Structure formats: C-alpha cells, structure tokens
Amino acid sequence: MISLHLDHLRKVKSRVAPNFQGSLMKRTALALSAAFISFPLAAQDQPTRPPITGIAHVRIYSTDLHKSLDFYSQILGMTPRNAGCTGMARPCFIVNDRQQIQLSEVGSASPANLLAEIAFATPDVVRMRNYLLARNVAADAVTRDISGVAHFVVHDPEGNSIAFVQLHPRSVFTAPAEQISTRMLHAGFIVKDRAAEDRFYRDLLGFRMYWHGGFKDAGDDWWEIQVPDGTDWIEYMLNIPSKADHRERGIQNHFSFAVEQIKPAVALLRAHGLKTTAEPEIGRDGKWSFDICDPDLTRVEFMEFKPAQPPCCNPYTASHPVQ
C-alpha cells in the first residue's frame, strides 16, 4: 500500500514545487507507515486466553440433601466436606486435589437440568474474564470464596452455567480406600444447537475434538470436545426430544468418573450397597463403562481411561486421559 502511494507521488511531482516534493513524500511515507503498523499493535492490546486445564467441579442439584449425601458418601465412598469447597456450594466431595463434586439443594419443583454448573480450572481468572469481556461475552465479577479461591460465572449460548476457577496450590489429597474413583473425566449436557455451542467452546475457548459418534455409524448423537490444555472433556448430548421427561433428562445431563478397570469398580459399588442387576458393557466409543443414578436420577457414569476396542463411527483425534 505504501509503495502504491509513493508511485503516485512520483507521477505528479512535476506539478509540485521542488523543495516541497521531498518533504511531502517523506511525511506521507511516515504517516502511512504509522497507520500500517498500528493494526498489529491494536491486536496485541486484546487480552489473550489463559490456559484451561480441566474440569474443576460439577455442581448437582438435589431435592433431598440427606439422600444425596448418603448416595455419594456410602455408594461412591466419598467423604462430604464443608471446608475447602470452591464457590459457595456446601457440601462438596473431594475427587482429587483439583476436582470436586458439589451439591445444591432445591425444592421439589426442581429445574429441568439438574447439572447446575460445570467449572473449568485456569491459572488466571482475571485474564480469562477480560478475554471474554473483550469478545462481548457477559461475565459476572470475579469473587473469592471463604477459602480465598477466585472464580466467576458466565453462561454458554444455551444458558448453561459455566464457571472458571483459579485453584490454590494445595497439599496432595489422599482418597479413602473406599472411594471408587479419584478422577472425573467429563460432564455431558443436552445441546440443541451444536453450531452455536461450538462457536463458544471451540472457536472462543479453544476446545478441541476428542471423539464423536452415534447410535448409527453415520449419526452424531455424542460430540466430545476436550479442554484446550488437558484431557478432560465435555459431551454434547444431541438429538434429544424437547419433551424428554425427567428420567431421560437425568440420563443425558450427567458426569463421569474414570477407573482403571470397570469390573472391580462395579464389585466395590455393590459391596457399598448398590442395588442393580445391570452389568458393565463396552459402549459405542469402545470403552468399558457402567451407569448408575443418584437419588434425583442424575446419571453417574464410570468409565475406563482407554478404549478396549476401536470406537464406532469415527476415530479418536486427541490423547486419552491418564490418572
């Protein structure tokens, strides 16, 4: 662009006073150069996205807190706590030193989606909030909970509550021997408009494809995308009827724990008092898994870290999680 303007100046220089020609060309070149380099400087002023390293917590609505506490503590072998819970939810269950399951009590007229919130870990919540605000995403103010953990909340295009949490370095958590799993893998929720959700999670936040497939080989009923800087993922549950009942919605809006081997995990669940005749099975994703439901019919899935056989439909396109 600058060279085109200089060529034009050379063509008309015979009509300009000789002493003025040099200064005019010099001033024009400097002005155009300044304008040219201002664009990357403006881009540099935009906040960049900090890392998103994994799922920090999921918060579950409960219509009967006592029943839920019994389920998560007795069946899953987790210890309820009122101290060390991120955000304002009490109580919580510590999965590991960076992940939690939280409970929030609601009345009998409970919301359609009992998966109340998914929180992602980032090393810099202030920069994450600034990054989102600069891209016209409404975000609550950054606050600190009673433990001093900074966090804030946004909503995705379908209204799901999404939190970002800046975790404190903490001592290594030692799980009780009866705890079934010490790793949360993913959370899934009903999605109506995949393109709109992709613009938020993939284009804006940088999530990347892990696997997708369906009940039929050519179908897409499950769309799994990993956080950009880790191996935890979220799962779009697609093609769910708008009139799905409470049980169906509880199956779809779910979260998942990892285990090294599914059959010993199921045996331990039964030893803890789980009443079921169901057996583990290999899913369409090629992984051994086993499903149970909490007292409000929210599905809790157990899954092995890696597939036992190739998946249907499409290959995996990112690394599998490890303990």
Residue 309 lies in a domain: no
Q: What does the alpha-carbon distance between residue 148 and residue 83 come to, in Å, rounded to a whole number?
A: 12
pLDDT at 321 over 80: yes
Alpha helices in 117-187 (DSSP H): 125-133
Contacts of 28 (CB under 8 A, 6+ apart): 5, 6, 9
* Closest residue by Cα to residue 114 from 251, 315, 311, 7: 251
Residue 146 lies in a domain: yes
* Closest residue by Cα to residue 116 from 210, 213, 254: 254
Chain segment 15-33, per-residue pLDDT in tens:
344 444 444 444 444 444 4
Instruction: Tell me the CB-side half-sphere exposure of residue 67, using CA atoms within 13 A.
Output: 12
Residue 60 lies in a domain: yes
Q: What does the alpha-carbon distance between residue 246 and residue 189 come to, in Å, rounded to a whole number?
A: 14
Instruction: Tell me the CB-side half-sphere exposure of residue 260, using CA atoms within 13 A.
Output: 3
Q: Residue 10: which pLDDT band, with cuts at 50, 70 and 90?
A: very low
Q: What is the CATH number of the domain that holds 224?
A: 3.10.180.10
The structure's pTM equals: 0.85
DSSP state of 71: I
**For residue 282, what are the domain limits?**
54-304
Residue 33 lies in a domain: no
Chain segment 185-196, per-residue pLDDT in tens:
999 999 999 999
Structure tokens at 5: 């303007």
DSSP state of 14: G
Q: What does the alpha-carbon distance between residue 120 and residue 56 come to, in Å, rounded to a whole number?
A: 5
User: How many domains are contained in the chain?
Assistant: 1
